[in-house]
């Protein structure tokens, strides 16, 4: 979906396909048929933006076989779909029964991450619509904060001790190399691909504030930040303060993922804890945070927060659980949709947009409590279309005009 900002800029809105992940190119093609095109039809659109998630094997197939890339581009056109952004955070296995800490491997200290992201950039340059010259890729924010073993238990605790400084420095150097490769790609193709670190609770770059120093050190306009509004809210960041700081530091907002976290106003109450426990599921990591007078406190997962007194409960809790934008959980819980709205107003509601790529990223539909999960493809398509409709309304309320 495309929108015209009052300054004349085109702003793109997509939804991320990691909600129905596939590991292979054939699986990606099936996604377009079974999920993406039905969502487009529900919205009554001739064209719909999608933010592709391409696992390692799918990306490799596309970057090594020009005919496969052309076939994917043709299939996108045939189904009324377009791609200007990719989700490059998960490397593989995002559809596994248990993901947890595995999503942070390989990190930016590992050569595989640089090679994979380079491949994604090359693929995206070949998928951009003819009238679009700029694409974006979101990626892991350097690494998890501790040095995970090569194959960590997905349900085990995060190892103690900070990530060694040499791994952080290796990650920074890899991003500098990536910037050089993106420059070369732009010279070769005429397409500018930018990559955004996506701050996430528990990572080396946990907040937007944490991103400023490493991105300033890299000092390249093709490497910026992806602002995920669920992560922003989980860390209790004020959107205006966070985005103003990025602007002052000259950090480009490459893209923003529109998402909402789980909010519990009174986590000390037994009924609130019971409601939260329904969202404690075994597939994804749901980092949980609370803001105290002494600063931000947190746990790596929701279940850890609910056990005993591991997290202070005198103030609200927020959990990294991407809840559907249009359907806040039932009382006594709610979502951080107000944070999303405030962030979006700052991102695209001013005299000029801070970013031109917006992506709804609710990958946890099938991780919701059983009574809230969609029953089959049709209900999932209905839900995704409803999320995009809400995002569309927020954009038009800010003065953007929906384009055909």
What DSSP state is assigned to residue 351?
S
- Please tell me the distance from the alpha carbon of residue 238 to that of residue 235, in angstroms, as a whole number: 9
Looking at residues 53-61, what average pLDDT do you find? 97
Query: What average pLDDT does the chain have?
Result: 95
Q: Which pLDDT score, from 0 to 100, does residue 32 have? A: 98
User: Is the confidence at residue 35, as pLDDT, over 70?
Assistant: yes
Q: Token pair of 138, please?
A: 């979101």
Would you say 201 and 231 are in contact if contact means Cβ atoms under 8 Å apart? yes
Q: Which SS3 state, helix, strand or coil, does residue 50 take? A: strand
To the question of pTM greater than 0.75 for the whole model, the response is yes
Contact assessment for residue 3 and residue 349, using Cβ atoms and an 8 Å cutoff: no
With a CB cutoff of 8 Å and minimum separation 6, the contacts of 289 are: 201, 234, 235, 236, 296, 297, 298, 317, 318, 319
Query: How high is the pLDDT of residue 147?
Result: 81
Question: Mean pLDDT over residues 396-402, rounded?
Answer: 98
Helices (H), ranges, 3-99? 25-31, 37-43, 56-64, 66-78
Contact (CB, 8 A) for 324 and 387: yes
Indicate whether 336 pLDDT > 90. Answer: yes
pLDDT surpassing 50 at residue 154: no
Q: Please give the pLDDT value at position 146.
A: 92
User: Which whole number is the average pLDDT over 278-286?
Assistant: 97
160 has a pLDDT exceeding 90: no
Homologous superfamily of 2-262+325-402: Divalent-metal-dependent TIM barrel enzymes (3.20.20.150)
Q: 83 or 150: which carries more pLDDT confidence?
A: 83
* Domain ranges across the chain: 2-262+325-402
């Amino acid at each position: 979906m495309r929108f015209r900002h009052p300054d004349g800029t085109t702003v793109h809105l997509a939804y991320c396909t990691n909600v129905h992940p596939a590991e292979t190119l054939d699986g990606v093609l099936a996604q377009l048929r079974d999920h993406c095109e039905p969502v487009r039809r529900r919205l009554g659109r001739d064209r719909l933006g999608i933010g592709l998630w391409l696992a390692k094997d799918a990306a490799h197939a596309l970057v090594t076989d020009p005919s496969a890339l052309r076939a994917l581009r043709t299939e996108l056109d045939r189904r009324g779909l377009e791609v200007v952004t990719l989700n490059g955070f998960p490397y593989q296995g995002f559809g596994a029964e248990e993901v947890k800490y595995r999503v942070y491997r390989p990190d930016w200290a590992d050569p595989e991450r640089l090679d994979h992201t380079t491949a994604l950039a090359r693929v995206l340059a070949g998928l951009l619509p003819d009238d679009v010259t700029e694409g974006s890729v979101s990626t892991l924010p350097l690494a998890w904060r501790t040095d995970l073993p090569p194959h960590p238990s997905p349900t085990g605790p995060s190892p103690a001790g900070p990530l060694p400084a040499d791994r952080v420095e290796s990650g920074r150097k890899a991003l500098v190399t990536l910037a050089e490769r993106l420059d070369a790609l732009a010279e070769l193709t005429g397409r500018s691909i930018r990559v955004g670190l996506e701050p996430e609770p528990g990572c080396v770059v946990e907040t937007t504030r944490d991103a400023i120093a490493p991105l300033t050190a890299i000092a390249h306009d093709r490497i910026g930040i992806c602002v995920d509004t669920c992560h922003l809210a989980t860390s209790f960041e004020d959107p205006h303060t966070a985005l103003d700081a990025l602007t002052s530091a000259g950090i480009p907002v490459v893209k923003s993922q529109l998402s909402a976290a789980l909010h519990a106003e009174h986590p000390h109450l037994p009924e609130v804890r019971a409601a939260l426990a329904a969202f404690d599921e075994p597939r994804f990591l749901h980092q949980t945070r609370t803001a105290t007078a002494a600063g931000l406190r947190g746990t790596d997962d929701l279940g850890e927060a609910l056990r005993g007194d591991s997290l202070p409960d005198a103030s609200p809790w927020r959990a990294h659980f991407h809840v559907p934008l249009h359907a806040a959980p039932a009382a006594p819980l709610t979502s951080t949709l107000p944070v999303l709205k405030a962030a979006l107003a700052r991102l695209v509601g001013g005299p000029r947009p801070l970013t031109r790529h917006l992506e709804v990223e609710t990958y946890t539909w099938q991780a919701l409590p059983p009574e809230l999960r969609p029953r089959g493809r049709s209900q999932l398509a209905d839900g995704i279309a409803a999320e995009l409709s809400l995002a569309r309304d927020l954009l038009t309320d800010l003065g953007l005009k929906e384009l055909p």
